[in-house]
Amino acid sequence: MSEELQRNFTILKQKGDTPPYYLAYEVSDLESHEVGATLGTINSQLHSHNRYLDITLRVGDPKLDNYRRVRGDRIQFTAATPISIDDAPAAIKPRMWLDTDRIYRAAVERLVRIKTNQQVKAADRDQSADFSKEEAYAFSQAPTRIAFDDKKWADSVRQWSAELRAFPDLLASSVSISAQADNRSLVNTEGTRIEHGRGFARIMISASSKAKDGMDVSDFDSFEAFDPSGLPAADKVQAAVRRVGQNVQDLMKAPTAEPFVGPAVFSGRASGVFFHEIFGHRIEGHRQKDESEGQTFTAKVGEMILPEFLSVVFDPTRKQMAGKDLNGWFQYDDEGVAARPVTAVEHGILRNFLMSRSPIDGFDHSNGHGRRQPGLEVVSRQSNLIVSSSKAVSDAQLRQMLIDEIKRQNKPYGLYFDNITGGYTTTGRGGVQAFKVIPIMVYKVFADGRPDQLIRGADIVGTPLASFAKIMATSDQPAVFNGYCGAESGSVPVSAVSPAILISEIEIEKKDSGQDLLPLLPSPLLSDVRKGATQ
């Protein structure tokens, strides 16, 4: 990589009409194993090993180059070119040579368009440079390898998935385990030479069905670790499988939610997703510079945006919290900048944005959050989002505060969001600055002591500034949500760590119920369940 980088850069600087000032090669070596099962039988077993080349080439100068954002124009030069998984320079160098030539031509062409555009279009308010000068790093570690026993894990998922035979009303279910080694090598013309990697293993449990009115219902659970050996014992997974099956069966019979505005508690995992969706994306640095973005917090640095008792840190250097491995951990980002903690909110006050090497007004340098999926261009992205609170109470006290708030507002009930599958947020200026978060396990909480009631078909909607202002308190027990986040630079691993939160007012709306009804024919598993009960 270093040899071809130097050769291509030197020649282009000597012969190109518009010489490059920066060139970087990143190779992602991805090896993965996966075994999936349904109802006690294996339905997939995969092993893959691939290497991809990504190239970043900049022409012009750091003040104005081919990566300058133009409204309505998507920046895309690199393409995740597959290369040899053998360490064979003779096979790898030609791909670097050809892709560098292709990208150089495209970069020069785009820079001409950008300069022309500047002569006929109004200037953007943010006139900061397009690229920042950063320290060069040298780091090398042995490649991460994943020890994966195919037979052992096939036997395990077969056994766990068989537990879902006890729930004949399920229309689909699966239990799978996947493990991946992600090793990345990066070289650039500033002198950075990095080889680093990480592992990731996950057990995923999912089940779905339909209620009588045609509404789809589902539940899931997952366990994550850096290596398969760190995953939980079989009995814990087995209990989770049965819990997911029972939850779906209960959701089929649960009453549907009605539009409602009132107090609610988000569990720690649900709160983590809530903060990730409605806060985290809005402080990614590139959104502050893009004139097509809503820029919710661009002009609010130094202002109170959350309650004073809340702080938010993004820390990709943290490998574990609350007894769990964190999926948002990494050592260097995809621009070769060392990972570091970023205090985004300190006691309610906005202090910082997540930065790649694309500067914005007031923030001239990267803080190690330039990330991408192979094949896409780097932008600033989230890592490990960690919420802390100075107004924390026990779970029991938080529930009592919810009940008190229900009474104070004279509401018929409040809500408890136990599990959230994800969500999305509108950050573009052309749309409403709103969010939708999709819960799957939601309970009505009554102030008169009646048991909580499970409901289905509720989607959380709102706007970020109004929702943040209504957070009243948190629990004292953080919980971890691990997952993958999809945005402009693709799917990247992230985590969210948060205590449960009490919100004085949240809005839910009804989910689409669908038109397809349950199958007319009874499940063939029903007779097996009855036979087992008789025995």
Q: Which of 478, 451, 469 lies closest to 324, judged by CA? A: 478
Q: Report how far residue 409's alpha carbon sits from residue 505's, in angstroms, rounded to the nearest whole number.
A: 10
Which of 217, 164, 222 lies closest to 525, judged by CA?
164
Query: Do 111 and 28 belong together in one domain?
Result: yes
Contact 257, 458 (CB under 8 A): yes
pLDDT of the residue at 523:
84
Lowest mean pLDDT among 111-120, 192-201, 237-246, 495-504: 111-120
Domain that holds residue 10: 2-253
- Co-location of 166 and 283 in the same domain: no
Strands 392-393 and 471-475: parallel
Q: Do residues 336 and 387 both lie within one domain?
A: yes
* pLDDT score at 535: 47
Q: Looking at the domain assignment, is residue 526 inside a domain?
A: no
- The answer to whether residue 292 is domain-embedded is yes
- If asked whether residues 166 and 287 sit together in one domain, one would say no
Give residue-wise pLDDT tens across range 512-533.
Answer: 777 777 788 888 887 665 555 5
| Calpha distance 411→205 (Å, rounded) | 36
| 534: in domain | no
Place of tokens 């505060």: 401
pLDDT of residue 532: 58
Identify the band that residue 505 occupies on the pLDDT scale cut at 50, 70 and 90.
very high
Residue 164, in any domain of the structure: yes
**């949240």: which residue's tokens?**
506
Whether residues 464 and 397 fall in one domain: yes
CATH number for position 46: 3.30.2290.10
Residue 29 lies in a domain: yes
Co-location of 100 and 170 in the same domain = yes
Domain presence at residue 438: yes
Sign of CA dihedral 65, 71, 77, 80: positive
Identify whether 518 is part of a domain.
Answer: no
296 and 216 in one domain? no
- Phi then psi for 434, rounded to 5 degrees? -135, 170
- Greater confidence, 74 or 9? 9
Specify the residue for token string 């040298």.
138
CA distances from 353 to 238, 345, 356, 361 (A): 41, 9, 10, 11
Strands of 226-334 (E only): list them.
260-266, 310-314, 320-321, 324-325
Q: Identify whether residues 38 and 187 lie together within a single domain.
A: yes
Residue 33: predicted pLDDT? 97
Ranking 22-36, 131-145, 276-290 by mean pLDDT, the lowest is: 276-290
End position of a domain, from candidates 223, 253, 283? 253
SS (H, E, C) 229-241: HHCCCHHHHHHHH
8 A C-beta contact, residue 197 and residue 182: yes
Q: Please, are residues 242 and 234 in contact by the beta-carbon 8 Å criterion?
A: no
Q: Does residue 187 surpass a pLDDT of 80?
A: yes
Least confident of 51-60, 340-349, 351-360, 510-519: 510-519
Beta carbons within 8 Å of 97's beta carbon, 6+ residues apart: 4, 8
Q: Are residues 227 and 372 in the same domain?
A: no
Task: Give the pLDDT score at 472.
Answer: 97
| Helix/strand/coil for 366 | coil
Residues 356-378 have a mean pLDDT of: 96
Q: Report if residue 525 sits inside a domain.
A: no
Are residue 340 and residue 382 in the same domain, yes or no? yes
pLDDT digits 0-9 by tens, 438-480 = 889 999 999 999 999 999 999 998 888 888 889 999 999 999 9
Mean predicted lDDT score pLDDT of the chain: 92
Give me the number of domains the chain comprises: 2
For the stretch 393-407, pLDDT in tens is: 999 999 999 999 999
Question: Residues 214, 276: one domain?
Answer: no
Per-residue confidence (pLDDT) for residue 121, from 0 to 100: 61
Three-state SS across 160-197? HHHHHHHCCCCCEEEEEEEEEEEEEEEEECCCCEEEEE
Instruction: Report pLDDT digits (tens) over 296-321.
Output: 899 999 999 999 999 999 999 999 99
User: Each residue of 109-157: pLDDT tens digit?
Assistant: 999 999 988 766 655 677 899 999 999 999 999 999 999 999 999 999 9
* Residue 355 pLDDT greater than 80, yes or no: yes
Shared-domain flag, residues 226 and 269: no
pLDDT computed for residue 534 by the predictor: 46
Of all residues in the chain, the percent with pLDDT exceeding 90 is 81
User: Among the listed ranges 286-295, 412-421, 503-512, which one has the minimum average pLDDT value?
Assistant: 286-295
Check whether 65 has a pLDDT greater than 80.
yes
